[in-house]
A and B are shown apart, each in its own frame.
Chain A
Amino acid sequence: MHFRAPRRFFAILAASALVLMAVGVVISNVGLHREYILMATTTSTRDTGLLSVLLPAFRDATGIEVRYIAVGTGQALDAGRRGDVDIVIVHAPMLEIQFLADGQGLCRNQVMFNRFVIVGPRDDPASVAQATSAIDAFRRIAENESLFESRADNSGTHTKELELWALAGLSASTFGSWYERTSQGMAATLTISNERDSYTLSDDGTWFALEGALPFLRLLYSTDEPVLQNVYSVIPVNPAVHSNVVFEKAVAFARWLIGLDAQRLIAEFTVNGHPIFTPAPVGGC
């Protein structure tokens, strides 16, 4: 009698644990084939808010649900390489080409582009607003040794920033203490710039979304130069390499994104009243 209670207790404990795990199996859809597409995209893509418009529209049109993970560019492509997702949307053309060359991607549709812009302190000590080109703007910042925040996280934005320094004939590794590395996402980096009155390179979507919360920063340089274009593409993962991917639905999504309806939604999409995306459909899928 004294010794039965623990046995009972452990039996209940083990039983509840098993029941809850079984619940987990059911809600996790373990083993069963997925109905929805799983997509990997970047945090900046998520932060523009465009997905909240596009994904429901796609579901209404085709009945196909798209769920996504928002990670760094590198991790998004890695998720594709591991076969953990069915499709990726990224904005890193060089890495995308490599991805396809490695046979990881089935095909590629270019969807749209937005811009990189330079934001900085209201008084603009380096006179970036008067720059004649993006490269010139970066040169001014370096010459003036103004505080600059780099994302330093191997993201698409960081890659573009390094490209601009290189085009200006400069190397980020030689910069002094005015060049700061945040190792964080765009929103966090903009917040840091706002706190420290520094310059930074941002995508226009995130800038316009957060502008209201960044009173000490101003949009200083925004043009449609090709070098500032941030091109987004969608790549379904190659089913020949990963047989588990839901590739027919993924390809359907890739095609829908360059179709008329999606492209219209993209063109009409605004953040705080600013249109950010330019439709640029180029189909390979």
Chain B
Amino acid sequence: MAGDIVDITLLSLYVSSTSTLVATAVAVPVGIALGLREIGSQRLLKNILFTLYGLPPVLAGLLVFLLVSRGGPLGPLGLLFTPLGMVIAQVVVVTPIILGITMSVVSTVESRLKETAFVLGADAHQLRVTVMREATAGILTAVMVGFGRAISEVGAVFIVGRHIEGQTQVLTTTIITDIEQAAYGHAIAVGIILLVIAGLVYSLLYRLQERTLQ
């Protein structure tokens, strides 16, 4: 029923770190490219993205569940009730967030910076890299917000993982099942562990961000 708390914590870290990393690898380059485009075409895109910010993790979980269940198109892969399935569900939740914030941060890098790089002879790719460098602090914020969402969400991992002992138990699903069984004390303890873990990761990322702001 309640597995080893160390295993649970490690799995939480694994699932959320992996999903954040994958989402970052996809969302940051796309966000930079989109953020550099002209304002006009951005409005529709921003509308879609803002709607996806509000994509409830439970809905993402349901969609991935239907995808990877035996009856679904990816059924034969056997991803339901597995950590990898949970990672995929969280990637769906986190990618729009990182993408949107990156796009926002990049598009607000002042035109002066872009013009300066242009005037010094930068081609399109070099310009992108320069903008990205200037927007690094903001992009790190996007990653932190994304990770925060991943580590604290329960809807997606619960629906796709189902809190199976020895397999898919994470901190947030442990809190839910503790409450289901009225084990409130244990739930609070697990919650504190989750806050501590999140705090440690954030402090690491803050330190990184500080360095890039010089």
Contact = CB atoms under 8 A, between A and B. Distances in A.
Interface of A: 2-3, 5-6, 10, 13-14, 16-17, 20-21, 23-25, 27-31, 34, 38, 43, 46-47, 49, 51-52, 67-71, 82-84, 185, 187-188, 190-191, 210, 213, 242, 244
Contacts of A43: 180
Q: Chain A binding site: helix, strand, loop or mixed by DSSP?
A: helix
Contacts of A191: 182
B25 A28 contact: no
Contact of B77 (A31, A69, A84): A31
Contacts of A213: 182
Contacts of B46: none
Contacts of B81: 38, 69, 84
Contacts, number: 106
Given A27-B83, A30-B79, A46-B1, A17 B18 contact: yes
B59 interface: no
A20 B132 CA distance: 25
Contacts of B125: 3
A16 B21 CA distance: 8
B69 A21 contact: no
Contact of B129 (A6, A27, A52, A83): A6
Contacts of A67: 164-167
B78 A29 contact: yes
A187 B164 CA distance: 20
A228 to B, nearest CB: 23
A14 B25 contact: yes
B24 interface: yes
Contact of A31 (B14, B78, B83, B162): B78
| Shortest beta-carbon contacts, A-B, top 5 | A28-B82, A24-B84, A83-B70, A28-B84, A69-B162
Contact of A20 (B1, B14, B129): B14
Interface string B153-173: 000000000111111000000
